């Protein structure tokens, strides 16, 4: 009986793992927000997929910790993602003083 309980719990954990990787089922975007903030106020983003949540969206996090659920096909979303990608690339490839390439 204990073995059956363990197997059941293991299967539930496997099914929930994709959702928990993006913050859990409770944190899925349920609708797209019309909010568009200045890119300088964005910290990061991740893509929410239909496999773990009810709709495809790009979830931006602002510097103040707010989440914005954006349409992945909108121009604002695409340019904001590119902006954050470029900002992160610059951080990763910044030349530190005394370090040569």
CATH numbers and ranges of domains, the chain? 31-93 (2.40.50.40)
Output the tens digit of pLDDT for each of the chain's 101 residues: 555 444 344 433 434 444 334 445 568 999 999 999 999 999 999 999 988 899 999 999 999 999 999 999 999 999 999 999 998 777 777 666 655 55
In angstroms, the CA 50 to CA 74 distance is: 18
pLDDT of residue 52: 87
Output the pTM of the full model: 0.64
29 CB neighbour count, 10 Å cutoff: 19
């Amino acid at each position: 009986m204990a073995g059956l309980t363990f197997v059941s719990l293991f299967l539930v954990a496997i099914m929930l793992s994709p959702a928990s990787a993006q913050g859990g089922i409770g944190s899925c975007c349920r609708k797209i927000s019309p909010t568009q903030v200045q890119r300088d106020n964005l910290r990061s983003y991740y893509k929410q997929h239909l496999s773990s949540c009810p709709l495809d969206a790009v979830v931006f996090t602002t510097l103040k910790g707010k989440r914005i659920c954006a349409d992945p096909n909108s121009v604002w979303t695409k340019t904001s993602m590119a902006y954050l990608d470029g900002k992160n690339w610059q951080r990763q490839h910044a030349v530190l003083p005394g370090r040569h390439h």
